[in-house]
Amino acid sequence: MTARLVIATRRSRLALWQAEHVKALLEARGIAVQLLPMSTRGDELLQASLAEVGGKGLFIKELEAALADGRADLAVHSMKDVPAELPPGFMLAAITARDDPRDAFVSARYAGFAELPAGSIVGTSSLRRQAQVLERYPALAVQPLRGNVDTRLAKLDRGEYAAIVLAYAGLRRLGLADRARSVLPIEESMPAPGQGALGVECLSTRADVQALVAPLADAVTSACVRAERAANRALGGDCTIPLGAFADLQGASLRLRALVAAPDGRRVARAEALGEFSDPEALGRRVAERLQGQGAGQILAALAK
């Protein structure tokens, strides 16, 4: 009998692209797949920042409920939206090959941050991006920007913002790469842990699903994302903290760079280290310790007040 799987996905155009991508990979292996599009709390609560309403985990809770009650067999997520700790009973069965992990500068009038006049409004939903923008350009005004990619671009086009910052991978996946006026170097805008990679989640009891999905995993991406997520987990595991982390392969070793920043950009802790490809979690913990030594604990403590 041909295997058949149901993928739970958000309804946004980008989420559907991501689910269709995984669907195509599975169908190429002879597996029949159908999608279960769903609306999530994260999609519906657009009037407040993610930090105020509970973080990026709001984008996946309804999908996990569909896995738990049997309506779906797996869910596809952008890894930057997946909390560092999954609820008991859930697991990541695969992390697929990473797309471009960088952030993009998008504007109708300006080619980059250096061209923006003082007081220009920059839109982003991320404290991480906000902190890094204000560290380099403190004269700019950063304001919250929620909604899917198309909604955010529409707000920019209506003149509500002088520029916005988005994940470049999302623009590429939607055929909108030409909207990026520039792609920001890792050194200027450290990505979120897992940015550019897709994760496939299922119940930890579903060995059948795990076996079908396992061939989609990319070994290098998986190791890099595991290191990034381990650093986040060691610092509290909250998707809303202003933390950037990016790992890449350096010969036979993994290099992990990370930062924790105050939202106003006035305090930034940075650290990096090399580690064993076979133990990315240890590398993540080591970099988190170095961040603590650079003052990350004080930055995070101030945020919690």
Active-site residues: which are they? Answer: 81
**Positions of E strands within the chain:** 4-10, 32-38, 74-78, 90-95, 103-106, 121-123, 141-143, 163-167, 180-183, 198-203, 243-250, 253-261, 268-276
Q: What are 183's strand-pairing partners?
A: 104
| CA 241/CA 244 separation, integer angstroms | 9
Burial class (CB in 10 A: 0-12, 13-18, 19+), 122: buried
Helix (H) or strand (E) holding 16: helix 13-27
Cα 43 to Cα 10, 61, 148, distances in angstroms: 8, 12, 8
Cα 134 to Cα 13, 102, 195, distances in angstroms: 30, 18, 21
Q: What are 275's strand-pairing partners?
A: 254
Three-state DSSP at 91 gives strand
Q: What are 268's strand-pairing partners?
A: 261
What the block records as the tokens of 132 is 């890094």
Positive or negative torsion for Cα 14, 15, 20, 22? positive
What the block records as the tokens of 262 is 């105050």
Three-state DSSP at 96 gives coil
Residues in the chain, total: 305
| CA 175/CA 229 separation, integer angstroms | 28
